Amino acid sequence: MKYLQIFLIALVALEHVYFMILEMFYWTKPKGLKTFGLTKESAENSKVLAANQGLYNGFLAAGLIWSILEIDQTYSLAIFFLSCVIIAGIYGAYSTRKVSLIYVQTLPALLALFAIHL
What is the model's pLDDT at position 72? Answer: 72
Residues 7-62: pLDDT tens digits?
999 999 999 999 999 999 999 999 999 999 999 999 999 999 999 999 999 999 99
**Best CA proximity match to 1, nearest among 80, 86, 71:** 71
Radius of gyration of the chain (CA): 15
Q: What range defines the domain where residue 46 resides?
A: 2-116
d(CA 20, CA 6): 21
Structural domains in the chain (count): 1
The SS3 assignment for 56 reads: helix
d(CA 13, CA 30): 24
Note whether 94 and 86 are within 8 A (CB): no
